[in-house]
Structure 1
Amino acid sequence: MARRAGAELQRLRQRAHDGNPVAEFAMGSFYAHGTLIVPQSNVKAIYWYRKAAAQGYPPAETKLGGIYENGRGVPRNYATAAYWYHKAAAQGNAAARRGLRRLHRQVSR
């Protein structure tokens, strides 16, 4: 089973290296949470999320908003969080809209 999972991860990694934003996002998620075959790494998660977000992939933009909102692996920065949330919200991402509302409440305190 581990061999099969390793082979699937290699295929996913190759698609990510080929510039597939869905695969880049998936790699970011694997690194964000860690798995049996992928160690947790905020640095690598952010790297992959940024690659997917650079292609306008809303889930990655939303994840980056959350990362900057909460300061996970980066200094907390509400302006940068808002930037990423706005990009994703402009494409109709509901989670990004919720993130913007949450930021507004935090900043308005």
Structure 2
Amino acid sequence: MNPRCLAALLLLGLAGCGVGEIEPLVYPPDPVPVPPELWQQAEAGDATAQFELAEHLWPAHPGDPEPFYWLVAAACQGHPVAQVNLGVLYDAGDGVPRDRLEAYLWSARAAAQGEPEGRHLADALRPTLTEAERARALEPPDLADAPDCVQWRK
């Protein structure tokens, strides 16, 4: 079809619409299918595969618990970038209730493994904690006892 005709039809079609009725003309692309090997490795407990699966699923399923589950799985096994990402999610309240202490604890765990982004986030969050939270942060629970990890293992 002639591009000018298509543009005219589009304008005519939109002419009767109120501004609030116009839907976006650009939709996000369909998600790329997850390679079966990645699923298998993640389900077998490979922390790197779990992190990669979470990263793969997140853009296509924002707010869906499945990418969060895989991110927690990787973080609970000590994947430092997954731990930083959990810290960021808790700091922003993105898909989870906003919790600066949890954000700090996850980022501090990553920082303890030498992850620079974990150190940066932990340093930024530390001054925002209350005195009681700072006291709790001095003795963070082991990963086995972290609330997200306990929930993940159920």
- Deviations 1:7-29 (CA, angstroms, capped at 9, x unpaired): x6211111100111111001111
**Structure 2 residue corresponding to 1:99, chosen from 121, 126, 141:** 121
Give the percent of matched residue pairs that are identical in Structure 1 and Structure 2.
31
Aligned-residue Cα RMSD (Å) equals 1.8
SS in 1 for 2:55: helix
- Alpha-carbon offset, residue 63 of structure 1: 0.6
Of Structure 1 and Structure 2, the greater helix share is in 1
Aligned residues: 99
Q: Which residue of 2 aligns with 1:15?
A: 41
With a CA cutoff of 8 Å and minimum separation of 6, indicate the structure with the bigger relative contact order.
1
**Structure 2 residue corresponding to 1:48, chosen from 70, 92, 98:** 70
- Deviations 1:35-55 (CA, angstroms, capped at 9, x unpaired): xxxx44441121001101111
**1:25 has 2:51 as partner:** yes
**1:73 has 2:87 as partner:** no
In structure 2, what is the Cα distance between the partners aligned to 1:31 and 1:99? 24
Q: Which runs of 5+ in 1 are unaligned?
A: none
The structure with more radius of gyration: 2
Contact 1:21–1:57 (Cα < 8 Å) also in 2: yes
SS in 2 for 1:101: helix
SS in 1 for 2:35: helix
In structure 2, what is the Cα distance between the partners aligned to 1:105 and 1:42? 31
Query: What is the TM-score with the length of structure 1 in the denominator?
Result: 0.81
Q: Which runs of 5+ in 2 are unaligned?
A: 1-31, 131-154
